[in-house]
Structure 1
Amino acid sequence: MDDYLKYIGAGALTIGAISTAFLLKSGPPAIEPLVDLNKQSIVIPGPERARKSCLLGSQTHGDSISDVTTLHEAFKRGARLSDNGQCIGWRPDPQKPYSWLSYNDVLVKAANVGAGLIQEGQKPLNTTHIGIYSQNNPEFFISEQACYMYSMVLIPLYDTLGPEAASFIVNQAEISLVICDKNSKMKNLLRRQDSMKCLKTIVCVESPDSESISMAEAHNVKLIAFQELLKQGEKNPHQLVPCKPSDICIICYTSGTTGIPKGAILTHHGMVSTALAGLQHISNLGCDDVMISYLPLAHSYERFVEISLYLVGGSIGFFSGDVKKLMNDIKLLRPTIFPSVPRLLNRMYDKILEKVNSSSIKKLIFNMALTAKSNELKRGIVRNDSLWDKLVFRDIQQSLGGRTKLIATGSAPLSPSVLSFLRCVVGCVIIEGYGQTETHGVCTLQHMGDREIGEVGPPLPCCYIKLVDIPEMNYFSTDNKGEICVRGNNVFQGYYKDEERTREVLDADGWLHTGDVGEWLENGTLKIIDRKKNIFKLAQGEYIAPEKIENIYIRSAFVAQIFVHGDSLQACLVAVCVPDEAVISKYAATTYGLENCSMAQMAQDPRLKKDILEDLTRLGKDAGLASFEQVKSLHIHPELMTVENGLLTPTMKAKRKDVAKYFHLQIENMYNSLNK
């Protein structure tokens, strides 16, 4: 994008802008929504005032889907629709293009892996638990399909999960065999083997090194190469024992923001119902579509997107394993479908603006283009072939491969300004959804033609949603506000071996209490406005929802991450702030005359803390925060909170308990200073 328009004069641009303004008035037709966008859900008669989707029927893509009741049947449907097209791709070498396996290739390999697992003592029953400790890759995908072909249950261990949590899962689920992609993960398990007596076999995707072999021998754990497992199954084929709709497909352990992991029991019926319902919202997916797979497969969001794609015969390309090289993978794969999360989209937004703001001429031209595309969006027109796209936005679009038609985002709120901006510059449909692991990933989703911002769509056709009063937070269903509760085919069965925590979220009538706070909008869509679970009380008795405050403060240009903290022994709030390095460096240079300072040095400057705190207070006032909801002291931390350092969950949410523990000295010092 650095070179675009460098040779176009200001006069020519002015003429081009005027010409384009006329052209835009007669642009392509708007996306035709499947429902009346002013009435996207219906209130069910009764005191609960629950809502359901306006969509009816079980048809999608003009093809009956009533015969698809399990994920194995879903995969076979994709093979049929695609005429055995390409299914999964990967890069065997950073210097090489994508290699592909067809649908039938995957079916054959999965059958062999399943038969190999049986040879290793795993029974073809729905009580057999197969662990997998891996990044997204072909072996993960093939192993998953193998489980479905032999009625086994897949249990992922998060790629970034710590060894303590991993050993807890192995023990609770009584896993005797785990498939590992890297030596580092094998060693994580083997170091804790004394507390995991049930683990007997590790299947190695990467060749085990000498240390892994020695550790395995010392703990009497068998190591077998993934390729050897395939060969065993090929030599000893076993009749398929396909899963049933009521069978468990996966026990998905949620890392959570506090406490030990909880194993959400997800079924084939629930997963298929959710994916088919989602396809009723996204009706233009087909065999020609390709998605980039990089969000953890251990999570239901990524799984939901992949299942939706192979249901219609699409292709899945795995990233090379290094998020830093993700954009290179995307350029090579050229995906049409890009599942994302706000953290990544925010970074994209910041980088684009950084380049644009480097020149006043660039900024002027870019804003003209942005205005023109925004006017098209207001009329429901989404495209990437306008004159402005060709002149201004082409480099941005090419960075995503040049043929992206859908970006789906979830897991956390996306700033309205970022969403509207990206819809213009990327030139594709961007929709938001909402859900949890406990809803098989999704329970609401925007329709393709919905261009509204700040809402997450209506209920999926597979569920009902109601809002329940939260008197202590002043939310009442009569005002169309309250805790979001879900009931339907996409609600999970409960937490594995944990009846107490199951009862905390699933009531006697089958309603899942999500802990999130929503608001029904006039058009029948849901807006996420707060979080119930993380509320706490200050010393004076006021209730605080820290995530609501964080979502306001994160709008500050200074802030990359922020964590708001308080407790019942204190009368005010404090926060830990990780500044945006690029913004802070420029600000420190122009405001304080500090050149070439490190983030660690700038974090110690009291002037910076004062200026950031003032900006946060201003944002809080503008958003209507009460005085007791405003942060009174700030600690500036120079390094990002990440999954790797244990402060974020794999879905990029703060592990509130762990963050508070990590910064306990800084929090204590802030309160000591305030209480002097």
Structure 2
Amino acid sequence: MQAKEILRNLQLLELDEISQFFHTIPPPTLGCGGARGSVLGDSLQLMTHYHDDARTMYEVYQRGLHITGDGPCLGFRKPKHPYQWLSYKEVANRAENLGSGLLQKNCRSSPDQFIGVFAQNRPEWIIAELACYTYSMVIVPLYDTLGPEAIRYIINTAEISTVICDKVEKAKVLLKNVEMKETPDLEIVILMDPFDMDLVQMGNDCGVQILALREVENLGQMNRRTPVPPRPEDLSIVCFTSGTTGNPKGAMLTHGNVVADFSGFLKVTEKVIFPRQDDVLISFLPLAHMFERVIQSVVICHGGRIGFFQGDIRLLSDDMKALHPTIFPVVPRLLNRMYDKIFSQAGTPVKRWLLEFAARRKATEVRNGIIRNNSLWDKLFFKKIQDSLGGKVRMIVTGAAPASPAVLGFLRAALGCQVYEGYGQTECTAGCTFTTPGDWTSGHVGAPLPCNYLKLINVDEMKYFSAKGEGEICVKGPNVFKGYLKDTEKTDEALDKDSWLHTGDIGKWLPGEYIAPEKIENIYVRSEPVAQVYVHGDSLQSFLVGIVVPDPEVTEAWARKKGFEHSYAELAKSEAFKKALIEDMVKLGKQAGLYSFEQVKAIHLHYEMFSVQNGLLTPTLKAKRSEMRNYFRKQIEDLYSNTSI
């Protein structure tokens, strides 16, 4: 596949040199083709799902329903009014009614039954989607920005006979296409909004039945069908992408594709910001795009709430103040607007200087792994900014385009929440790389998700070579789509014979620096008998080791509590004591959210304090890591040679 002439400036964190801690073991099924994967997970097996009871999008909703029951699910509001909520039970009931009603209108419970949805974000969108999933039908989003020709192309290519739309104006666009005999398969248009008899007559004139959404739900309620749940390998959605030239391409995504993609996200974030039942997501990014829909699926799977904006982006801040969301999916363009507005309101050079000064102080905390919104700087400078987003945002996720490092850095500090960036495209469901928690640097799009492998291949004509760590990004895994609907030529361009997706984007591997040994050391020194610790990782080894200096004042007393009747010096020779000490350190690490690969697997006990005098500390008492590595070279080699995991 030819790389695009205009390429995104993407950079990827290299996983085989994370702070010189890890290297990639080539996956056995892929050979030595330069493929790299996530270091997260229990094995080299790619993730297909996170929860055993949520392997399809139907099961995802059922899981949220089981967690929350009659709790709030989908929220909407009228101007200057609070949010109103539909419960999980109400949404599930309406979806079964709507799905049953569609079946009464000659739709089939089958993965080759395509239902069009032509609407802005609102609860009925999700109800229509769930109705399709409940009876193994496939949803096909339509959206205005594609243009009228593209909408006609999609309806004809997918042979859509039924479209659910929100507004009368959109229904008229659809009917005009039928009237001009450009979409002859369209038979039914279902309206979410009220309509009058003029629209019904317009439909009759061209042979299209106009129905109200509630009317179809009532029909289904009177003729209720038993759900026909889909399988993971069944299609869930055909998502048409605009592309750069020609007709849009219909990416066929299965239930398993979507579940695998958001499961990778869950695995990456599980220790630090795992979704909760009290999470609230503000929905304003188009549901016709997979980025928004994957993030929503994560929230629904855990019984959280989705609050929809009023439909006007200018009122988004007002909606957020009313909703108080905790999760905020966003695109870089909006982040840029926020950034520009914040600084435009700092009307004088002095105010701007103070704002930048406060942001630098907060940024220092962020670099040290401290994410908070209750500091003095927050109270003096950033509370108004945080309140404009509802005051409770704990996670921002951005994608769809490269984000400015300056903007991301400032907002991470000013908003006091975790800001994640990812890269992907519809053909790999949404994301294939994602920021690793704790790595709050900018200018890259994170590391591969645990649900896919990545590799770079040569683009000779543009002088990008994988040997230099750059080239076209290729993706393989259970989140990669099955091809383009009725377009084998484009499918063959995108997917090679080994099922690698050729994205057409250029990427570059970067040395990773997001596993900070200082962070691990600061956790381990909380262990009562530990006075000092040096954590080391070798790029040719798959685990960490440590040099520990026991505290002479408390070690013997701590050891006696554990059943060791040894002197301070004798404890150095006790393997049982070292095992107990490692267990205590690892326990603290787990409590602090360290991943298993961030924990030491072996330690050497050293009985001389690290100091400025012996050259192991700087005058400010920071570890001289290079000197430490050389000083303990022999002990480190012994730890690696004598330890098996």
Of residues 82, 100, 119 in structure 1, which corresponds to 2:104? Answer: 119
In the alignment, is the contact (CA less than 8 A) between 2:398 and 2:422 conserved in 1?
yes
The corresponding residue for 1:324 is 314
Name the amino acid aligned to 2:217. Answer: L
DSSP 3-state at the match of 2:287: coil
DSSP 3-state at the match of 1:522: strand
The corresponding residue for 2:62 is 76
Tell me which moved more, 148-157 or 278-287: 278-287
The corresponding residue for 2:188 is 201
Query: Aligned-pair distance for 1:221?
Result: 0.6
Please give the alpha-carbon distance, in whole angstroms, between the structure 2 residues aligned to 1:210 and 1:325: 32
Q: How many residues align?
A: 486
The corresponding residue for 1:54 is 39
Query: Aligned-pair distance for 1:288?
Result: 1.1
The corresponding residue for 2:399 is 410
Please give the alpha-carbon distance, in whole angstroms, between the structure 2 residues aligned to 1:67 and 1:434: 28
- Alignment map for 1:137-176 (pairs within 5 Å): 137-176=122-161
1:477-511, CA deviations, whole angstroms, 9 ceiling, x for partnerless residues? 11111100001100000000000000011000000
DSSP 3-state at the match of 1:449: coil
Please give the alpha-carbon distance, in whole angstroms, between the structure 2 residues aligned to 1:230 and 1:380: 50
The answer to whether the aligner puts 1:520 opposite 2:509 as a matched pair is yes
The corresponding residue for 2:26 is 44
Query: Aligned-pair distance for 1:375?
Result: 1.2
The corresponding residue for 2:52 is 66
The corresponding residue for 1:396 is 385
Query: Aligned-pair distance for 1:294?
Result: 0.6
Of residues 293, 296, 314 in structure 2, which corresponds to 1:303? Answer: 293
1:67-98, CA deviations, whole angstroms, 9 ceiling, x for partnerless residues? 3211111111112233542111111x212111
The corresponding residue for 1:264 is 251
- TM-score normalised by the chain length of structure 2: 0.73
In the alignment, is the contact (CA less than 8 A) between 2:19 and 2:511 conserved in 1?
no
The corresponding residue for 1:333 is 323
Please give the alpha-carbon distance, in whole angstroms, between the structure 2 residues aligned to 1:321 and 1:186: 18
DSSP 3-state at the match of 2:511: coil
The corresponding residue for 1:285 is 275
Please give the alpha-carbon distance, in whole angstroms, between the structure 1 residues aligned to 2:282 and 2:87: 17
Name the amino acid aligned to 2:104. Answer: Q
Please give the alpha-carbon distance, in whole angstroms, between the structure 1 residues aligned to 2:281 and 2:364: 29
Name the amino acid aligned to 2:345. Answer: K
1:454-478, CA deviations, whole angstroms, 9 ceiling, x for partnerless residues? 1111111111100001112111111
Please give the alpha-carbon distance, in whole angstroms, between the structure 1 residues aligned to 2:400 and 2:476: 20
1:597-644, CA deviations, whole angstroms, 9 ceiling, x for partnerless residues? xxxxxxxxxxxxxxxxxxxxxxxxxxxxxxxxxxxxxxxxxxxxxxxx
Please give the alpha-carbon distance, in whole angstroms, between the structure 2 residues aligned to 1:211 and 1:346: 44
DSSP 3-state at the match of 1:66: coil
The corresponding residue for 1:454 is 443
The answer to whether the aligner puts 1:187 opposite 2:168 as a matched pair is no
Please give the alpha-carbon distance, in whole angstroms, between the structure 2 residues aligned to 1:452 and 1:173: 43
Name the amino acid aligned to 2:66. Answer: R
- Alignment map for 1:556-571 (pairs within 5 Å): none
1:580-611, CA deviations, whole angstroms, 9 ceiling, x for partnerless residues? xxxxxxxxxxxxxxxxxxxxxxxxxxxxxxxx
Query: Aligned-pair distance for 1:387?
Result: 0.6
Please give the alpha-carbon distance, in whole angstroms, between the structure 2 residues aligned to 1:493 and 1:329: 38
Tell me which moved more, 38-47 or 250-259: 38-47
The corresponding residue for 1:226 is 213
Please give the alpha-carbon distance, in whole angstroms, between the structure 1 residues aligned to 2:437 and 2:117: 35
DSSP 3-state at the match of 1:448: coil
| Structure 2: runs of 5 or more not aligned | 1-16, 515-645
Please give the alpha-carbon distance, in whole angstroms, between the structure 1 residues aligned to 2:405 and 2:463: 25
Query: Aligned-pair distance for 1:324?
Result: 1.4
Please give the alpha-carbon distance, in whole angstroms, between the structure 2 residues aligned to 1:36 and 1:78: 36
Query: Aligned-pair distance for 1:36?
Result: 6.6
Distance 1:434 1:363, change over 3 A: same
Identity %: 47
Of residues 220, 230, 255 in structure 2, which corresponds to 1:243? Answer: 230
Query: Aligned-pair distance for 1:134?
Result: 0.3
Please give the alpha-carbon distance, in whole angstroms, between the structure 1 residues aligned to 2:173 and 2:267: 42
Tell me which moved more, 259-268 or 204-213: 204-213
DSSP 3-state at the match of 1:295: coil
Distance 1:466 1:274, change over 3 A: same
Query: Aligned-pair distance for 1:391?
Result: 0.9
Please give the alpha-carbon distance, in whole angstroms, between the structure 2 residues aligned to 1:294 and 1:257: 24
1:362-385, CA deviations, whole angstroms, 9 ceiling, x for partnerless residues? 123212211211111121111111
In the alignment, is the contact (CA less than 8 A) between 1:292 and 1:338 conserved in 2?
yes
The corresponding residue for 1:435 is 424
- Alignment map for 1:338-377 (pairs within 5 Å): 338-356=328-346, 358-377=347-366
Name the amino acid aligned to 1:69. Answer: R
DSSP 3-state at the match of 1:156: strand
The answer to whether the aligner puts 1:423 opposite 2:405 as a matched pair is no
Of residues 484, 503, 506 in structure 1, which corresponds to 2:495? Answer: 506
Query: Aligned-pair distance for 1:191?
Result: 1.1
The corresponding residue for 1:99 is 84
Please give the alpha-carbon distance, in whole angstroms, between the structure 1 residues aligned to 2:132 and 2:69: 24
The corresponding residue for 1:88 is 74
Distance 1:37 1:198, change over 3 A: farther
Please give the alpha-carbon distance, in whole angstroms, between the structure 2 residues aligned to 1:37 and 1:88: 43
Query: Aligned-pair distance for 1:208?
Result: 2.2
Between 1 and 2, higher relative CO (CA 8 Å, sep ≥ 6) is seen in: 2
Distance 1:100 1:406, change over 3 A: same
Distance 1:38 1:374, change over 3 A: farther
In the alignment, is the contact (CA less than 8 A) between 1:468 and 1:477 conserved in 2?
yes
Please give the alpha-carbon distance, in whole angstroms, between the structure 1 residues aligned to 2:294 and 2:22: 22
Name the amino acid aligned to 1:330. Answer: M
Name the amino acid aligned to 1:494. Answer: G
DSSP 3-state at the match of 2:448: coil
The answer to whether the aligner puts 1:294 opposite 2:280 as a matched pair is no
Name the amino acid aligned to 1:457. Answer: G
Please give the alpha-carbon distance, in whole angstroms, between the structure 2 residues aligned to 1:374 and 1:55: 27
Please give the alpha-carbon distance, in whole angstroms, between the structure 2 residues aligned to 1:272 and 1:344: 27
The corresponding residue for 1:466 is 455
Tell me which moved more, 392-401 or 81-90: 81-90
In the alignment, is the contact (CA less than 8 A) between 1:39 and 1:523 conserved in 2?
no
Please give the alpha-carbon distance, in whole angstroms, between the structure 1 residues aligned to 2:267 and 2:215: 42
Please give the alpha-carbon distance, in whole angstroms, between the structure 1 residues aligned to 2:425 and 2:149: 24
The corresponding residue for 1:649 is none
- TM-score normalised by the chain length of structure 1: 0.70
Distance 1:297 1:37, change over 3 A: farther
The corresponding residue for 1:178 is 163
In the alignment, is the contact (CA less than 8 A) between 2:269 and 2:437 conserved in 1?
yes
Please give the alpha-carbon distance, in whole angstroms, between the structure 1 residues aligned to 2:137 and 2:73: 22
Please give the alpha-carbon distance, in whole angstroms, between the structure 2 residues aligned to 1:337 and 1:319: 14
Please give the alpha-carbon distance, in whole angstroms, between the structure 2 residues aligned to 1:47 and 1:241: 43
Please give the alpha-carbon distance, in whole angstroms, between the structure 1 residues aligned to 2:19 and 2:64: 31
In the alignment, is the contact (CA less than 8 A) between 1:458 and 1:524 conserved in 2?
no
Distance 1:395 1:524, change over 3 A: closer
| Structure 1: runs of 5 or more not aligned | 1-34, 526-676
- Alignment map for 1:631-646 (pairs within 5 Å): none
In the alignment, is the contact (CA less than 8 A) between 2:50 and 2:266 conserved in 1?
no
Distance 1:40 1:179, change over 3 A: farther
Query: Aligned-pair distance for 1:38?
Result: 6.1
Please give the alpha-carbon distance, in whole angstroms, between the structure 2 residues aligned to 1:157 and 1:43: 42
- Alignment map for 1:571-582 (pairs within 5 Å): none
DSSP 3-state at the match of 2:163: strand
